[in-house]
Amino acid sequence: MCITLPRLTRAHRLLIFLVLVVALPIDMRLDLPGQVVLSVAIWAALLYVLASFEIHERFTLWACLVIATAGELFLSLLWGLYTYRLGNIPFFIPPGHVMLLILAISMAPRMPRLVADVILGCAALYALVAAAVGIDTFALPLLAFLAAVAINSPADRPLYACTFLLALALELYGTWVGNWTWVNQVPVLPFVTTNPPGLVSAFYAVLDLLVACAALPFARRFGSPSFENAASVAR
């Protein structure tokens, strides 16, 4: 895979998992000042995890933070695909993206390539069926994004498959709890979708690829073996 985090411990993974699971229901009970306090705690957890990483690893994950934040601003506030409970972008959402990526990176080496291909194949099957019956026509362009990413970097399909599963689970959880809601009619485009879209994880897969591309200058600067394959991903 293109990125590894050899210093990530089991305690780090457990902390990230607990943060992602506990933060969303807590947020539902808070107003804006309380949400800011919760966000500070989540940022502190992320900084604690990042403190044990090498500098090139931290820079790459900061790149994930920047790219994810820009994506949130565009998809939610500009395009209007989904709306958060308070109508803002909660301050804890960007570090949440980084935490999810860290978990996916830690899972990917344990996922066989065949399993990853099956997961991505099931995603493609869902997109075709959901679009055919008319409940989620937005799945087709999202499938195109997911396929482009998977074809561009076949060696990283386990990472994309792990991200797909984690992101879908988190999206289902967040919409079920009520932290955010996806629109039924996609703004500007002639598509309908579900809450959340079945292939919402395609956005996260694109984020993975962009982060891998962002890792290139850090790999060249620090000569890190854990980022050697990033160059082949971006080419």
Asked if the model's pLDDT at residue 1 lies above 50, the reply is: no
Q: What is the model's pLDDT at position 112?
A: 95
CB of 112 closer than 8 Å to CB of 218? no
The contacts of residue 47 (CB under 8 Å, 6+ apart) are none
**Residue 108, CA distances (Å) to 56, 71, 160 in order:** 20, 23, 8
Residue 233's pLDDT band, with cuts at 50, 70 and 90, is very low
Instruction: Express each pLDDT in 143-173 by its tens digit.
Output: 999 999 999 888 899 999 999 999 999 999 9
Residue 54's pLDDT band, with cuts at 50, 70 and 90, is confident
Task: Name the 3-class secondary structure at 122.
Answer: helix
Instruction: Express each pLDDT in 78-94 by its tens digit.
Output: 999 999 999 999 999 99
Asked if the model's pLDDT at residue 30 lies above 70, the reply is: yes
Q: What is the model's pLDDT at position 55?
A: 86
| Average of per-residue pLDDT across 203-227 | 73
What is the overall mean pLDDT for the chain? 91
Q: What is the DSSP string of 56-116?
A: HHHHHHHHHHHHHHHHHIIIIIIS-SEEETTSS--TTHHHHHHHHHHHHHHHGGGS-HHHH
